Amino acid sequence: MKKVLLFFVFTFVASAASFAQIIKSNVPEGADPAALPIQFLPADALVFPNGDVQIGVAIKATAKNIGTLPYMPGNSPLKVRLYLKNGNGWQEVDSRSLNIMVSGAETSMNYYTTYIKGKQKPPTFKLVVESKNAGVVNPDVNMSNNSKQAQAQ
């Protein structure tokens, strides 16, 4: 019985690990704060008496140091900003400030909004990591992964 239980536990752990999102830096050594892909979480929908459908959009936006060294921003903290597209521009809806981001560390922001299906565009979000690639102890060695954008469906 113990062998069967161990088999099921091992199978569960192996399958759970396969679902985990693993993102690696393309640099062999250094700090690499990166914006991870924006996750859309389950949300609600509401049908109004006139037939309009209001769709809820919940997101989780995460920045992570996928590098091998801690990122130390120097004189001003590392800023991670979440934006919502507003017309032709971007409106900041949340932000985080970090004095140091050790290797493997994450910071996340959750946000919720709604739109009327068929009458309004689904919202578009942008996550930006405002790091430096020079002039700090462990610079951001890969600036190309510092921004992610996604639109709700």
Model confidence at 153, pLDDT cuts 50, 70, 90, reads confident
Neighbours of 19 (CB within 10 A): 6
Amino acid letter for position 116:
I
pLDDT digits (tens, 9 = 90+) for 49-74: 999 999 999 999 999 999 999 999 98
- Is the residue at 69 inside a domain? yes
What is the SS3 assignment for 68? coil
79: containing domain: 27-151
Question: In total, how many domains does the chain have?
Answer: 1
Average pLDDT score over residue span 4-11: 37
Question: What pLDDT, on a 0 to 100 scale, did the predictor assign at position 5?
Answer: 35
Residues 123-144 as b/e (b if ≥16 CB within 10 A, e otherwise) read bebbbbbbbbeeebebbbbbee
Q: What is the domain-level CATH number for residue 80? A: 2.60.40.10
Question: What pLDDT, on a 0 to 100 scale, did the predictor assign at position 29?
Answer: 87
For residues 2 and 113, the model is more confident at 113
- Is the residue at 127 inside a domain? yes
- Is the residue at 2 inside a domain? no
- Is the residue at 80 inside a domain? yes
